[in-house]
Structure 1
């Protein structure tokens, strides 16, 4: 979902297709932006909950309201960080190690504001948006995260 360029929240989506860093970066780039902070979350081959076990792949599942809740989160973060523009896209479905799982960006006149808004957006997204992760380990076992 692309929001109009006049709004501080420029791009929000939860999708089952490959994510594009360029798409998210482009969404927060304009003449008033002097600094962009970008967070890219990728699938790693391990998890802190099960040390020593290797993740083979994982699956993200989103509640049907996840996109709307992500938009609400982004609007709240934008209100708390005036002058910033935001974008966030989260992937769902089966992902392999190395795949992009989430891309979040914040643009602002200066880097400090961009960093603060980007951090607030990814942290709040992870805390509040109903997206769950099922990790599948190479030994055949699995575990749900975020439920």
Structure 2
């Protein structure tokens, strides 16, 4: 199974974590990114994520391979949601297993930072005042 995935279904963090199990792993670090009810001083009602799947999957796999090459890890997985999400929904999950915690923490941070920076996934925030706004993967507004 691919290390980087897109999903339009609710994420099962416990099930994903089990995919990282290894007899030689002494550490597992996970990151969960949830939909929050505010951003940049605005009350958020819901989000919708869109991705250009062929490029997103290719770039996501590159990032996962980079993490494996840079850090002494056993396995890394990242799954990012697409579609409409409610407040509190799990939007992105990253998990890393390694023999030691330092590598697991460093690799997990690297993966989420690079995914947000490089993978073409766009977020449309829907605000309580009825407005909406598109954000680039890095969180900056899309000017239009």
> Structure 2 unaligned runs (5+)?
137-141
Task: Give the superposition deviation at 1:32.
Answer: 0.8
The farther-off stretch of 34-43 and 76-85 is 76-85
The residue aligned with 2:37 is 45
Preserved CA contact (<8 Å) 2:26 2:97: yes
The residue aligned with 1:64 is 53
Deviation track 1:82-129 (CA, whole Å, cap 9, x = no partner) reads 334101100000000000000001111111110000000000111111
Report the RMSD for the aligned CA atoms in angstroms: 1.1
Q: 1:117 aligns with which of 102, 107, 121?
A: 107
> Structure 1 unaligned runs (5+)?
4-10
Cα distance in 2, alignment partners of residues 93 and 83 from structure 1:
31
Q: Classify the secondary structure of the residue corresponding to 1:107.
A: strand
**TM superposition outliers: structure 1 runs of 4+ over 4 Å:** none
Q: Classify the secondary structure of the residue corresponding to 2:38.
A: coil
State TM-score, norm by structure 1.
0.88
State TM-score, norm by structure 2.
0.90
Q: 1:29 aligns with which of 15, 21, 37?
A: 21
Cα distance in 1, alignment partners of residues 72 and 99 from structure 2:
11
Cα distance in 2, alignment partners of residues 122 and 23 from structure 1:
19
The residue aligned with 1:132 is 122
